[in-house]
Amino acid sequence: MPRIALALLTLALGLTACSGPDQLEVSSVQSTTEVVRDPGAAARAEADAFLEQYTRGFLPLYYASALAEWDANTRIVPGDSLTPARVRAANEALAAYTGAVPTIERARALLEQRESLTDLQVRQLEAVLYSAAQNPQTVAEVVRERIAAEAAQNDALFGYTFTLDGEEVTPNEIDRRLRESEDLAEREAVWLASKEVGPTLTPGLVELQRLRNQTVQALGYDDYFTYQVSDYGMTREEMLALMRQLNDELRPLYRELHTWARYELAEAYGEEVPEYLPAHWLPNRWAQDWTALADLAEFSSGATAPGPTLDDALAQKTPEWIVEQAERFYVSLGLGEMPESFYTRSSLYPLPESAPYKKNTHASAWHLDLDNDVRSLMSVETNADWYETTHHELGHIYYYLAYTNPEVPPLLRGGANRAYHEAVGSLLGLASMQPRFLDTIGLEVEPPVNPVQGLLREALNYAVFIPFSAGTMTNWEHDLYAENLPQEEWNARWWELAREYQGIVPPSADRAAPGAPFNDAATKTHINNDAAQYYDYALSNVLLFQLHDHIAREILDEDPRDTNYYGQTEVGDFLTAILSPGATVDGNELLEQTTGSGLTAQPMLDYFAPLMEWLQEQNEGREHTI
């Protein structure tokens, strides 16, 4: 074990020992008079002392773990054993600290006095226990195995070399060809190439299915899916019911989009109209985003809008301009500049072809020290997808910076719930794509000849995503952990769910057969390294339209379909009110307070109402199959 990791582990164990229930001392002595006057004062002082001590030990270990993970994601070298070893050592040190038995016992004992504690103390103690359930040292060997398995799985996924026709191909190139190619044979070859990594990931996911469940079961959770859902204060049954509700509410819109796509794509490819959409016909590896299909629509005299598109406008820019412009947007809202270290420490652009290593190509934002070390991992190129993604990822960064303030203890520096982070990122991504916004920042894009054209493009992104996130992904991961789905049924179940929720089928039926030697689910990054949380994204899509509707109508007095946030400091003030409390508040209560309503899909349905009418006209006489 490297010396620094050994030191961290020793530090973690030492701090854990002094945080046990018998060793913890209250830092201030309460007089008899004070205790009589306020019986809860002693309990609050004891909780403060415990939390201060726990946080002091936690932060350096958390930072060391995050730094090791950052290195592992930004520099992946075949055959490298030192980096994975550093990741395991740092994560084991953090696990030993957060999951220590005395820590668990002390937090539980303090929570037995919750009526005497402040809300802020209760929330921090619950956060301590939630973290402990990920790493309980009552099953220390299982935790170590899980940490090692997760590091190995990450290496297997992002160190994989995709090939097409015997030549190496990057994920960005796979995505580009699926967006642009009009040759079905090429499309199928590219789609199949994107899935070749699946079987490589199967052994590791078999282990992670077992180890993740065993880890959280040690603290009384039924399974890993149940554990992750509990962060919302919900049971898994309640979360599944909520996902069904969202799917049901948005199903009429998706049904029309699905029917429209079947007929339009069949005509474009010169094929018979299929009952279900073949996956390789669609412009995304998982059929979660169909935005590129918008160009198939005819709105005026049989032609789409002439003139430059956003891709055309961005072709004159550099990747650096996209990132810097995204920051200028947030600054225009009054949210301030990012620390200079964001640019010097982040990994923002594709690696050069000559680079002797790879990196994780999935866009992400990082809050490494729960203070001001904020970074992003991206591979920005000059196209509309990366333009929107960059605004999204910087939304996460500004969320981090907003709740890094003295009013929010480090243990509560997170979103009001997990959906908030994605909602805020997606909200600002949506705002950055609206026509008047683009005009304000000097991107000359021909406006749609019909406003419905823009709505179609957005619905093929946001509405199409719901059946994938709330349906296919959520239910598959539920079955993986809560039902211990056997490995030989993984691929068949994946395609069963994809057909049920998305109306999607694989290129050939044998791929969905029981026992087929594929693992198409595991090609989705989150199943490997952000497990059992994909409903976060479904909730965030609904939440973002609710926030956007409020901003448009109540702050800007504009049509939600045609807004311009740029330079509007009142919007920045509203966002600050949502972002700055972090996890010190309840997400549902925060939504009620700031928008006057609980979570509802109605603003999303209202937003796309004109599109719904148009789709129904286009689909008149066509057969709906879902």
Whether 119 shows a pLDDT value over 60: the answer reads yes
Q: Are 244 and 250 in contact (CB under 8 A)?
A: no
Cα–Cα distance list, 410 to 58, 123, 366, 615 (Å)? 10, 12, 15, 48
DSSP string, 88-131: HHHHHHHHHHHT-HHHHHHHHHHHTTGGGS-HHHHHHHHHHHHH
Whether 4 shows a pLDDT value over 70: the answer reads no
- Extract the tokens encoding 318: 């550099």
**596 bridge partner residues:** none
Q: What is the pLDDT of residues 323-372, one digit of tens each?
A: 999 999 999 999 999 999 999 999 999 999 899 999 988 899 999 999 99
- What local confidence, expressed as pLDDT, does residue 454 receive? 87
Integer Cα distance of 317 and 50 in angstroms: 52
Integer Cα distance of 55 and 68 in angstroms: 20
- What local confidence, expressed as pLDDT, does residue 448 receive? 72
Whether 86 shows a pLDDT value over 60: the answer reads yes
Integer Cα distance of 590 and 586 in angstroms: 6
> Amino acid identity of 211?
L
- What local confidence, expressed as pLDDT, does residue 13 receive? 32
Q: What is the pLDDT of residues 227-286, one digit of tens each?
A: 999 999 999 999 999 999 999 999 999 999 999 999 999 999 999 999 999 999 999 999
Using 50, 70 and 90 to split pLDDT, how confident is the model at 375?
very high
- What local confidence, expressed as pLDDT, does residue 25 receive? 39
Using 50, 70 and 90 to split pLDDT, how confident is the model at 173?
very high
- What local confidence, expressed as pLDDT, does residue 30 receive? 45
If you average pLDDT over residues 298-305, what whole number do you get? 54
Least confident span in 151-155, 274-278, 347-351, 395-399 = 151-155
Integer Cα distance of 487 and 177 in angstroms: 31
- What local confidence, expressed as pLDDT, does residue 451 receive? 85
**358 bridge partner residues:** 76
- What local confidence, expressed as pLDDT, does residue 55 receive? 98
Q: Which residue shows structure tokens 């015997």? A: 166
Whether 306 shows a pLDDT value over 70: the answer reads no
- Extract the tokens encoding 134: 């990920």
Integer Cα distance of 291 and 270 in angstroms: 21
- What local confidence, expressed as pLDDT, does residue 305 receive? 47
- Consecutive H or E run containing 547: helix 535-550
If you average pLDDT over residues 448-470, what whole number do you get? 92
- Extract the tokens encoding 530: 């952000």
Helix (H, G, I), strand (E, B) or coil at 377: strand
Q: Which residue shows structure tokens 């009620």? A: 592
- Consecutive H or E run containing 277: strand 277-278
Q: Are 376 and 198 in contact (CB under 8 A)?
A: no
Please give the share of the chain, as a percent, with pLDDT higher than 90: 87
- Extract the tokens encoding 470: 């709330």
How buried is 30 (Cβ within 10 angstroms: 0-12 exposed, 13-18 middle, 19+ buried)? middle
- Extract the tokens encoding 575: 């966002």
How does the average pLDDT of the chain come out, rounded?
92
- What local confidence, expressed as pLDDT, does residue 300 receive? 56
Q: Are 110 and 46 in contact (CB under 8 A)?
A: yes
Cα–Cα distance list, 511 to 328, 362, 476 (Å)? 47, 26, 17
- What local confidence, expressed as pLDDT, does residue 425 receive? 94
Using 50, 70 and 90 to split pLDDT, how confident is the model at 288?
very high
- Consecutive H or E run containing 550: helix 535-550
Q: Which residues contact 114 (CB under 8 A, 6 or more apart)?
A: 122
Integer Cα distance of 414 and 404 in angstroms: 9
Q: Are 504 and 287 in contact (CB under 8 A)?
A: yes
Integer Cα distance of 504 and 275 in angstroms: 9
Whether 299 shows a pLDDT value over 60: the answer reads yes
- What local confidence, expressed as pLDDT, does residue 32 receive? 46
> Angle at Cα 623 formed by Cα 618 and Cα 626, nearest 5°?
105
Phi, psi of 277 (to 5 degrees): -80, 120
Biggest CA pair distance of the chain: 87
Helix (H, G, I), strand (E, B) or coil at 76: strand
Integer Cα distance of 563 and 458 in angstroms: 14
- What local confidence, expressed as pLDDT, does residue 233 receive? 92
Stronger pLDDT, 154 or 126, i.e. the higher one: 126
Q: What is the pLDDT of residues 467-520, one digit of tens each?
A: 999 999 999 999 999 999 999 999 999 999 999 999 999 999 999 999 999 999
Using 50, 70 and 90 to split pLDDT, how confident is the model at 11?
very low
Q: Which residue shows structure tokens 């020290």? A: 369
- Consecutive H or E run containing 367: strand 364-367
Integer Cα distance of 563 and 431 in angstroms: 7
Of 440, 416, 403, the residue nearest 599 (C-alpha):
416
* DSSP secondary structure code for residue 303 in this structure: B
- What local confidence, expressed as pLDDT, does residue 468 receive? 98
Using 50, 70 and 90 to split pLDDT, how confident is the model at 295?
confident
* DSSP secondary structure code for residue 135 in this structure: S
- What local confidence, expressed as pLDDT, does residue 373 receive? 98
Integer Cα distance of 190 and 173 in angstroms: 9
State whether the Cα torsion 593-594-596-601 is positive or negative: negative
- What local confidence, expressed as pLDDT, does residue 287 receive? 97
Provide the pairing of β-strand 504-505 with 277-278: parallel
- What local confidence, expressed as pLDDT, does residue 92 receive? 94
Whether 302 shows a pLDDT value over 80: the answer reads no
Q: Give the CA count within 13 Å in the CB-facing half-sphere of 285.
A: 20
Whether 141 shows a pLDDT value over 70: the answer reads yes
- What local confidence, expressed as pLDDT, does residue 361 receive? 85
Question: In 218-338, where does DSSP find H-type helix?
Answer: 224-229, 236-269, 310-314, 319-332
Using 50, 70 and 90 to split pLDDT, how confident is the model at 39?
confident
Q: What is the pLDDT of residues 570-609, one digit of tens each?
A: 999 999 999 999 999 999 999 999 999 999 999 999 999 9
- Extract the tokens encoding 616: 């129904």
